Amino acid sequence: MIQIVVRVIPGGDHKRAFEQAVAEVVAMEESSDRMHYAISVGESQNPCVPAPDWSVRGHIMSHNRRQSVWRLVERVAKFAGDEAEKAAGQRDT
């Protein structure tokens, strides 16, 4: 399992740090150099975005496991960003 944590550190003050968002990525199955993952993503209420706490589950399918882990993080972040926009009821135009 991979866990991705977004921690906000206001003004660089670690004593005031808090977790804003978390994603968990669990390997489901593999086929040669491709991997399928079950993911769970969520975000705590953000004062800058008019949306309540939210969480959702999904999948990342057929990920090339020969790539850097950052490519997987990129796909998870894209999924989470799209879900965050849905929760906030907004879309980039």
DSSP collapsed to 3 states, 46-85: CCCCCCCCEEEEEEEEEEECCCCHHHHHHHHHHHHHHHHH
- Distance separating alpha carbons of residues 57 and 31, to the nearest angstrom: 22
What is the predicted pLDDT for the residue at 46? 74
**Running DSSP on this structure, what letter comes out for residue 33?**
T
Evaluate the CA torsion angle 48, 50, 56, 58 in order and state its sign.
Answer: negative
pLDDT in tens, 30-68: 777 899 999 999 999 877 666 789 999 999 999 998 999
pTM exceeding the 0.95 threshold for the entire prediction:
no
What is the predicted pLDDT for the residue at 51? 72
Q: What tokens appear for 75 in the block? A: 């796909």
